[in-house]
């Protein structure tokens, strides 16, 4: 029998109403692809989670404990999504955090019928009015306060197969509502610099590293709307997609068509091969 979630290692579906994750969004999360029981890029997700713990002043996580709990709730040969959530736990009223917090740890699994898509899918990209604030202390990590992205997703409620582009308050291109962004210009890949806002995605970092290995020029830079409008290609990435090519970029009533998907295809082919390698490695461990 597959368990839906573990709370501090015990089967459960609720937390204390005084938990600081509920009260203040005082916590972190990771969302991780499971393909044929293999938990993809788990090391990288745990590294980002550790970075978030250092930023928020949480105690260090126990990698082995989390891995044991993941294995406990994922049944044989399943596809799906693991979510790890950490909060600072139960605290007194007020913003001041407890000196010695007892972290609330939730590990949950949502099974899916199908695995990662083997074909390159397309999305329309819309400019969102909602902006991301600039906060270098929190840039890069996945914390529980995601209200800006929730507001931005509401702007897309009437659109199917769509993603929203988010700028920061200084008009810099940052990311999608649930994805990172790459563009290609004259055979150079570029992705927004995330020093002050945005999430440093696991897939984004993997592609930056792979591009360097293959001699593909890939730059982390400040990007403008005008550069996206004139780009040869735009594609979006996250841990679950893992790649979506943008076919149309819509800005204030204007439509910029993007017919090229050369680098999106490169990214997807690399990631599918890499994920399959992880699946095979997991299978070999179980034999």
Mean pLDDT of 196-223: 98
Residue of 35, 69, 104, 142 with catalytic role: 142
Residue 92 to residues 103, 251, 260, Cα–Cα distance (Å): 14, 46, 54
* Of 31, 50, 130, 148, catalytic: 31
Our CA angle for 237, 240, 244, nearest 5°, is 35
Q: Which homologous superfamily is 121-274 in?
A: D-amino Acid Aminotransferase, subunit A, domain 2 (3.20.10.10)
How far is the C-alpha of 154 from the C-alpha of 235, rounded, in Å?
21
The CATH 3.30.470.10 portion of the chain extends over: 5-112
Poorest-pLDDT segment among 27-36, 234-243, 274-283: 274-283
Task: Verify whether residue 31 is a known catalytic residue.
Answer: yes
Domain 5-112 CATH class label:
alpha beta
Kindly report, as residue ranges, where domains of CATH 3.20.10.10 are found in the chain: 121-274
3-class SS of residue 260: coil
Q: What's the pLDDT tens digit per position in 144-166?
A: 999 999 999 999 988 888 999 99
Would you state the pLDDT for residue 92?
Answer: 83
Q: State the Cα–Cα distance between residues 165 and 173, nearest whole angstrom.
A: 8
Residue 4: predicted pLDDT: 84
Residue 142 annotated in active site = yes
Residues 82-121 have pLDDT tens digits of 999 999 999 888 898 988 899 999 999 999 888 888 889 9
DSSP annotation of 99 = S
- Lowest-confidence pick of 49-58, 76-85, 187-196: 76-85
Q: How far is CA 188 from CA 150, 184, 231, 271, in A?
A: 32, 5, 10, 19
- Mean pLDDT (whole number) for 125-138: 97
Q: Residue 3: pLDDT band by 50, 70, 90 thresholds?
A: low
Q: Write down the pTM of the prediction.
A: 0.94
- Whole-number Å distance between alpha carbons of 56 and 156: 31
Range scoring the smallest mean pLDDT among 70-74, 115-119, 135-139, 152-156: 115-119
Strand 10-11 relative to strand 5-7, pairing:
antiparallel
Give yes or no for residue 287 having a pLDDT over 60: no
Would you state the pLDDT for residue 78? Answer: 87
What local confidence, expressed as pLDDT, does residue 16 receive? 93
What pairing do the DSSP bridges indicate for beta strands 5-7 and 218-221?
A: unpaired
pLDDT at res. 210: 98
Strand partners, 236: 181, 244
Give the tokens for residue 214: 């293959």
């Amino acid at each position: 029998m597959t368990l839906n979630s573990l709370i501090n290692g015990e089967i459960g579906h609720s937390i204390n109403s005084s938990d600081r994750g509920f009260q203040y969004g005082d916590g972190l999360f990771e969302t991780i692809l499971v393909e044929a029981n293999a938990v993809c890029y788990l090391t990288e997700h745990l590294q980002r989670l550790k970075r978030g713990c250092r930023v928020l002043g949480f105690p260090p996580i126990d990698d082995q404990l989390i891995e044991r709990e993941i294995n406990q709730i994922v049944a044989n040969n399943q596809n799906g999504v693991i979510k790890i959530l950490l909060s600072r736990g139960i605290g007194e009223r007020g913003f001041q955090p407890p000196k010695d917090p007892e972290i609330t740890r939730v590990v949950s699994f949502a099974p899916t019928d199908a695995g990662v898509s083997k074909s390159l899918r397309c999305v329309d990209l819309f400019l969102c009015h909602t902006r991301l604030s600039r906060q270098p202390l929190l840039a890069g990590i996945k914390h529980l306060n995601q209200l800006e992205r929730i507001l931005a997703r509401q702007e897309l409620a009437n659109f199917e197969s769509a993603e929203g582009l988010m700028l920061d308050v200084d008009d810099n291109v940052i990311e999608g509502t649930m994805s990172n962004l790459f563009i290609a210009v004259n055979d150079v890949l570029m992705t927004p610099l995330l020093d002050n806002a945005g999430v440093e995605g696991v897939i984004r970092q993997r592609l930056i590293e792979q591009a360097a290995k293959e001699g593909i020029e890939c730059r982390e830079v400040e990007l403008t709307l005008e550069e996206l409008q004139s780009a040869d290609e735009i594609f979006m990435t996250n841990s679950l997609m893992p790649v979506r090519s943008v076919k149309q970029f819509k800005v204030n009533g204007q439509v910029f068509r993007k017919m090229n998907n050369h680098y999106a295809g490169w990214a997807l082919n690399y990631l599918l091969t890499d994920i399959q390698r992880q699946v095979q490695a997991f299978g070999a461990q179980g034999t």
